[in-house]
Amino acid sequence: MLFALAGNQNCGKTTLFNQLTGLNQHVGNFPGVTVQAKSGYVRGRADISIVDLPGVYSLSAYSGEEAVARDFLLNEKPDCIINIVDATNIERNLYLTLQLIELDIPIVIALNMMDELYSNGGDVKLYNFQNALGTVVVPVCASRNIGLDKLIDMAVKVTTDNRRCMDKRVYTGEVGNVIRDIYNVIKAKSEAAKISGKFAAVKLLEGDYTVREKLGLSDNEALIANEIILDAQARFKADGKTVISVMRYKFIEDLCRDTVAKGDGRTRKRDEIIDGFLLNKKLAIPMFLGIMLFAFYLTFSITGGVLNELMTSKIALLKNAVDILLIEQKVSPVIISLVNEGVFGGVGAVLSFVPTIAVLFFFLSLLEDSGYMARAALIMDKPFGRLGLSGRSFVPLLMGIGCTVPAIMATRTLKDERERYMTVRMLPFISCSAKLPIYAIFTTVFFRRHRALVMMGLYLFGVLVGMLSLWILKGTDDAEDHIPFIMELPHYRLPRIKNTLLLLWDKIRDFVSRAFTVVFLASIIVWGLKTFGMRFNVVSDSGQSILAYISRGISPLFAPLGFNDWRVAAALVTGFSAKEAVISTLTVLSSTDAATLPAAISEMFSSASALSFMVFTLLYTPCVAAVNTVRCELGSTVAAFGIIVYQTGIAWLCAAFVYQIGMQIYCVI
């Protein structure tokens, strides 16, 4: 049996899905789109699979997610719909419910957050509510795992009995007549297309074009239907959509008046008090910065500390053990090198992202689940709107300071495709933490007294160039196309640890499965380029390797930037596989170690070229893991390649500019 989980955003759908499926979930994308799809099996019921549809407010196709939810319900024809309704927000939630009922698929309503309703002094007369709505309603509390067994049992029962909803007259009087007239025209075609005739008739009156196409009406049928609609609109003196929406909400209001006691709004008052602080004109920004900085501090001290060390030490242990084994077995040194640097290097590279992803997403999910994220997005919306981003872009961009990979993954929360794209385009301009060692060494050697200033200047420069780049990108675009920023402010809630951990597991698994091949392969390739010479023999002098050969070829390109040295070019090339490799490659190729590297650098560079080098590393192509993540999130390999070329081009231009200006200043001085 296939059940579909449908409901508004913030109604506890994800919590319910997690409770039902536990770890038996699988995350992918809905076909053809970059909207995330979660599916899984109900724990203990291997015969029931559940799909978590995107949170939507309606089945009109105004957003990509609504279209996806709708298409799934129309095309995949699940056996039953489980519609989750937030009892503390019942009117707006029922609006979707009425449309789901029109689909004529077996349906069960899960009335969620009953605990909150009760604590507000509210109540629902369940029997009357069920009768008035015409469907089975099961009160649940997803976060406390109450009522879920009954929910599944009822869903199964409704499916096996093939129980349809009792027809409750939502559209009465004249409107009802019009719908019936349209229904008669399209009846045959809707049966053929296996779409509920009633659903299609209502949608046509609403002016929905996609349904029109799906039905494949003949020209004649379309003409008749159109006439009915135009005639009706003239009579009602309003457009079809308004009429339908008004009738739906009227039905809902009447229903709730008789059966739902809303309570005293205790939760609302509590939210208002908290918002009074967090959205206060004077306090909001300081509190916001405080919360972000605190979260960041935690992130870095945990990632940069405990988790990272744990991971690297475990990998090192394993590597040593394998090393010893291979040497005992007298395996060829090339293979040993392959395993040590290539394989372990590759695996290590992929796994090195895991602590960062875990901690950054932990922080992200705390923000989302607590309800604060919506407020943060609200605060940052005005300044960000100017750049074609939205307030919601702020947190992914902030995460970019830590690591670009989870930051790109976090852009999934941006519903607007364009905003998501712009945010992803902005991310490479935000210097990630892997580049810090580069700045650290170079500023120590050349700008010791003004270290902090130079580093801050670099970050700022990156952001400014990024904003310019976005502004240019945005310029070629029609402002009227923008999706209105309508954002619900959810209640403040205590995040559930179980949910958070499941989300983390989800993200890590997601990343590892997608990155593994690409990142691993890149590591092996770099190992190959460093180890072998032009005749594919093993070289002891890295100056004879393929990497060196390639680097000597491209090195002259860096002449206008001030560093025409093959070793530097080689370091930059390896920087594509991981930014940490830039310094390590430079160390190896200059035959130095951590202590003597600074001296070598002071010989390879001048102040001006050091600055241009740092600008170049700041702006050029992100590491292969990040590029791969872009490919996955945007669903386009072309976009991924585009970013590599674009960023490297901009980096070259800016670095050359910086060097040339630097030289001029130097001459004057």
Smallest separation (angstroms) from other proteins to the CB of 235: 16
Contact call for residue 57 and other proteins (CB under 8 A):
yes
Contact between 292 and other proteins per CB under 8 A: no
Interface stretch with other proteins, choices 269-277, 405-413, 468-476, 500-508 (CB under 8 A): 269-277
Q: What is the largest CA-CA distance in the chain?
A: 91
CB burial readout 550-585, b (16+ within 10 A) else e: ebeeebeebebbbbebbbbbbbbbbbbbbbbbbbbb
Give whichever of 10 and 49 is closer to other proteins, judged by the CB atom: 10
Q: Which is nearer to other proteins, 57 or 353 (CB)?
A: 57
Per CB under 8 A, which of residues 59..88 are in contact with other proteins?
60, 62
Q: Using CB under 8 A, which of 315, 322, 487, 604 touches other proteins?
A: 487
Report how far residue 369's alpha carbon sits from residue 302's, in angstroms, rounded to the nearest whole number: 21
**Which of 37/284 has CB closer to other proteins?**
284
Residue 89 within binding range of other proteins, rule CB under 8 A: yes
- Backbone dihedral angles phi then psi of residue 325, each to the nearest 5 degrees: -60, -45
Indicate the residue type of 102: E
Answer yes or no whether residue 32 interacts with other proteins by CB under 8 A.
no
Q: How far is the CB of 418 from other proteins (least distance, A)?
A: 15
Residue from 123, 221, 381, 417 that binds other proteins (CB under 8 A)? 381
Q: Which of 422, 141, 9 is nearest to 150 (CA)?
A: 141
The distance of closest approach from Cβ of residue 217 to other proteins in the complex, given in angstroms and rounded to an integer, is: 20
Q: Per CB under 8 A, does 279 bind other proteins?
A: yes
Q: How far is the CB of 608 from other proteins (least distance, A)?
A: 40
Residue closer to other proteins (CB basis): 153 or 254: 254
Shortest gap between Cβ of 421 and other proteins (angstroms)?
20
- Alpha helices, DSSP H, located in 493-636: 497-531, 546-554, 566-574, 580-589, 597-604, 607-619, 624-634
Binders of other proteins among 358-377, rule CB under 8 A? 374
Torsion over CA: 355, 360, 363, 367 (sign): negative
Among residues 71, 115, 275, 323, which is the contact residue for other proteins, using CB under 8 A? 275
- By C-alpha distance, which of 637, 635, 640, 642 is closest to 64? 635
| Listed residue (7, 152, 132, 170) closest to 80, CA to CA | 152
**Which H helix or E strand runs over 292?**
helix 284-301
The reply to whether 484 sits near other proteins by the rule CB under 8 A is: yes
Tally Cβ neighbours within 10 Å of residue 450: 12
Residue 383 makes contact with other proteins by CB under 8 A: yes
Among 2, 193, 284, 322, binds other proteins (CB under 8 A): 284
- For residues 60 and 143, which CB has a smaller minimum distance to other proteins in the complex? 60
Of 238-246, 394-402, 524-532, 570-578, the window that binds other proteins (rule: CB under 8 A) is: 238-246
Stretch that binds other proteins, among 19-27, 130-138, 279-287, 506-514 (CB under 8 A): 279-287
Phi, psi for 505 (deg, rounded to 5):
-60, -45
Q: Which of 194, 382, 448, 535 binds other proteins (CB under 8 A)?
A: 382
Toward other proteins, which CB reaches closer, 29 or 210?
A: 210
Check residue 246 for interaction with other proteins (CB under 8 A): yes
| Residues between 388 and 417 that touch other proteins (CB under 8 A) | none
Contacts 24+ apart (CB under 8 A), 198-204: 198/102, 198/104, 199/99, 199/102, 199/103, 199/104, 202/102, 202/171, 202/244, 203/59, 203/60, 204/229
Q: Does residue 486 interact with other proteins by CB under 8 A?
A: yes
Question: Does the footprint of other proteins cover residue 291 (CB under 8 A)?
Answer: no
Fill in the DSSP letter of residue 195: -
Lay out the site mask for other proteins across 168-187 (x = CB under 8 A, - = otherwise). Answer: --------------------
Q: Say which residues have a Cβ less than 8 Å from residue 505's Cβ, sequence separation at least 6.
A: 23
Closer to other proteins by Cβ: residue 89 or 577 = 89
CB 171 → other proteins: shortest distance, Å?
14
Report the alpha-carbon angle 196-199-200, nearest 5.
Answer: 85
What is the CB-side half-sphere exposure of residue 117 using CA atoms within 13 A? 21
Name the token pair of 49: 């699979």
**What are 215-221's contacts with CB under 8 Å, separation 24+?**
215/186, 215/189, 215/190, 216/189, 216/192, 217/186, 217/189, 221/185, 221/186, 221/189
Spatial separation of the C-alpha atoms in residues 437 and 447, rounded to whole Å: 15
92 binds other proteins per the rule CB under 8 A:
yes
Supply the minimum distance, in Å, between the C-beta of residue 62 and other proteins.
5
Report how far residue 65's alpha carbon sits from residue 55's, in angstroms, rounded to the nearest whole number: 8
Interface ranges with other proteins (CB under 8 A): 57-58, 60, 62, 89-92, 95, 206-207, 239, 241-242, 245-246, 249, 262, 271-272, 275, 279-281, 284-285, 374, 378-379, 381-383, 385, 480, 484-489
